[in-house]
Amino acid sequence: MMRLPPFLYVSPRTVAEAAKAVAEAGPGGMLVAGGTDLYPNMKRRQFEPTTLVGLAAVRELRGVRGSAREGVTLGATTILSAVATHPDLLRHYPALATAAGLVSSPQLRNMGTLGGNVCVDTRCNYYNQPYPWRKAVGFCMKKDGDICLVAPGSRRCWAVSSSDTAPVLWSLGARVRLVSASGERTIPIDALFRDDGIEYLAKRPDEILTEIVLPPAEGWASTYLKLRRRGSFDFPELGVAVALRLEDATVAQARIVLGAVASQPRPATKAARALVGQRLTPDVIAHVADLAAGPARPLDNTDFTHPYRKKMTRVFVARALGRLAGLERAGRDEEELA
């Protein structure tokens, strides 16, 4: 049986206590919310914290407040199934509810939190492996080693950002509140991520993500499509998040953000820009989809071959736009589960 390595466990009741506890725990300390990402990783010895600060008992971190008109604030430990089924989110931020509802399995969504999903560790199939496997293949720089096995010679790690909700939150223009013992700050979510497989978050380990703040939804339409082999369990091998503001059927503002193509969510800025001022005709969609496929440079460290994932970027972007355009959508119904 795969078991957790030993650790000390602290269960604070408030954010302030939690912030203090992580600060005190020092470099061996880690936060844990639902544990659905961290515990499997610990069982595989990808992390070996000496102290865990659990956020489960911090009530103020849970729940959804606000409205579409003034914006919605989500507590970081709101579980994914609550996000997926929240009526306001379903109506006004459908891409977010969809993405949350497409994470892994129903059971896991009852445990995993939105904050944990945003902070989820990057993935690589040379790394998300049990300890004996990694020992047999040779350790890599993300844990216990010093080279990259997927891109030998590379000085950085290319592990893949595999969050379903992160690209969506980025496309929605979300902001995140970070609290630590030494203060707090609120930053746009795109400033939370870094393009590095190891240091993939631009936040200090002692900073707690407490809230995710969504701007008003008025006038915006959003959608999310996910590529994976099975309709359940599987991480995204590509995520396409699109948010558009339409004025008289013409695109006034657009954001397209790709998930699972780099160590952080990757905006397809050129493609989004090309949409502005256009109507969503099949020709425009095809052109924009080609542009969006540009920045996707997946490596061979996930499921599906990388040329395939790259090809799918075009198809999925086109389909996401087609769906927002109300064009007859076609293809697999995977994304309609939520």
Ligand X SMILES: Cc1cc2nc3c(=O)[nH]c(=O)nc-3n(C[C@H](O)[C@H](O)[C@H](O)COP(=O)(O)OP(=O)(O)OC[C@H]3O[C@@H](n4cnc5c(N)ncnc54)[C@H](O)[C@@H]3O)c2cc1C
Interface residues toward ligand X, by CB under 6 A: 30-38, 40, 55, 76, 80, 103-104, 108, 111-113, 115-117, 119-121, 162-164, 208-209, 233, 235-236
Amino acid letter at 336?
A: E
Q: Residue 185's beta-bridge partner residues?
A: 178
What's at 162, amino acid-wise? S
Q: Total residues at the site for another protein (CB under 8 A)?
A: 63
117 binds, among another protein, ligand SF4, ligand X, none (CB under 5 to 8 A by kind): ligand X
| Smallest distance, ligand X to C-beta of residue 206, A | 9
Taking each helix axis from N to C terminus, what angle separates 282-293 and 306-324, rounded to the nearest 10 degrees?
150
Q: Which partner in another protein, ligand SF4, ligand X, none is near 229 (CB below 5 to 8 A by kind)? A: another protein
Give, in order, the Cα–Cα distances in Å from 22 to each of 11, 38, 79, 205, 206.
11, 16, 22, 8, 6
The gap between the terminal CA atoms of the chain, to the nearest Å, is 33
Question: What DSSP state is assigned to residue 328?
Answer: P
Query: What residues line the site for ligand SF4 (CB under 6 A)?
Result: 124, 126-127, 140-142, 148-150, 157-159, 197, 301
Residue 304 beta carbon to ligand SF4: minimum distance, rounded to whole angstroms: 16
Our finding on whether 182 is near another protein (CB under 8 A) is no
CA distance 267 to 246: 19
Residues 210-249 that bind another protein (CB under 8 A): 229-234
Rounded Cα–Cα distance for residues 338 and 330 (Å): 17
- Pick from another protein, ligand SF4, ligand X, none: which does 295 bind, CB < 5 to 8 A by kind? none
Q: Does 105 bind another protein (CB under 8 A)?
A: yes
- Does 26 bind another protein (CB under 8 A)? Our answer is no
* Stretch of 28-36, 183-191, 193-201, 209-217 contacting another protein, by CB under 8 A: 28-36
**Euclidean distance between CA atoms 49 and 51, whole angstroms:** 6
Contacts of 338 (CB under 8 A, 6+ apart): 84, 97, 98, 99, 100, 101, 102
Residue 5 interacts with which of ligand SF4, ligand X, another protein, none, CB < 5 to 8 Å by class: another protein
Under rule CB under 8 A, residue 188 binds another protein: no
Q: How far apart are CA 27 and CA 116, in angstroms?
A: 19
Q: How far is the CB of 168 from ligand SF4 (least distance, A)?
A: 24
| 249 interface partner picked from another protein, ligand SF4, ligand X, none, CB below 5 to 8 A per type | none
DSSP string, 108-140: HHTT-BHHHHHTPPPB-TTTSS-HHHHHHH--B
Q: Which does 161 bind (CB under 5 to 8 A by kind): another protein, ligand SF4, ligand X, none?
A: none
Cα atoms in the Cβ-side hemisphere of radius 13 Å centred on 284: 17
Closer residue to another protein, CB minimum distance, 90 or 108: 108
Are 142 and 127 spatial neighbours (Cβ–Cβ below 8 Å)?
yes
Residues that bind another protein (CB under 8 A): 1-9, 11, 34-36, 39-40, 43-45, 48-50, 54, 56-57, 81, 104-108, 110-111, 125, 128-133, 135-138, 144, 149, 229-234, 303-305, 308, 311-312, 315, 328, 330-332, 337
